[in-house]
């Protein structure tokens, strides 16, 4: 009986770990996808191709509500670390890359909704 209980407990734990790993996008993924955008977001000019590739990749990865919420939180956190970030450039970036996002890109966006 004890062996069966241990096995069941381990099985439940493994399912929880796998589910949590697949449940949301990591902030590392968000940061690496958008790293090529940093210069554009502070200085403007032409949007670099690798930046739009990252925006497109990130958008395609964020298909579920939890993924979008996590990406939103990561974006807001990363934005705080970019000195001189131009909020207008950030909010217009998806459109300039031909990506439609169903929520505004802003530091005031409520990521929980």
**What length does the chain have?**
113
Q: Which CATH superfamily is domain 47-113 in?
A: Plant lipid-transfer and hydrophobic proteins (1.10.110.10)
* Collapsed DSSP state (helix, strand, coil) of residue 112: coil
Tell me how far apart the terminal alpha carbons of the chain are, to the nearest angstrom. 45
Query: What are the residues whose beta carbons fall under 8 Å from the beta carbon of 89, sequence distance 6 or more?
Result: 40, 41, 42, 44
**The pLDDT value given to residue 44:** 94
The DSSP call for residue 1 is -
User: Do residues 25 and 61 make contact, with C-beta atoms less than 8 angstroms apart?
Assistant: yes
pLDDT, tens only, 69-113: 999 999 999 888 888 999 999 999 999 999 988 777 888 888 888
Q: Kindly report, residue by residue over 4-62, the tens digit of the pLDDT.
A: 333 333 333 333 333 334 547 899 999 999 999 999 999 999 999 999 999 999 999 99
- pLDDT score recorded for residue 6: 37
What pLDDT is attached to residue 107? Answer: 85
Specify the pLDDT at position 69: 92
């Amino acid at each position: 009986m004890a062996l069966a209980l241990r096995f069941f407990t381990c099985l439940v734990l493994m399912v929880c770990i796998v589910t949590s790993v697949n449940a949301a996008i990591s902030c590392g993924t968000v940061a690496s996808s958008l790293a090529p955008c940093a210069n554009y977001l502070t200085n403007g000019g032409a949007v670099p191709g690798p930046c739009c590739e990252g925006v497109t990749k990130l958008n395609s990865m964020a298909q579920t509500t939890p993924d979008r919420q996590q990406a939103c939180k990561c974006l807001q956190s990363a934005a705080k670390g970019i000195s001189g970030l131009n909020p207008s450039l950030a909010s217009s970036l998806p459109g300039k890359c031909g990506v439609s996002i169903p929520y505004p890109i802003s530091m005031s966006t409520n990521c929980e909704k």
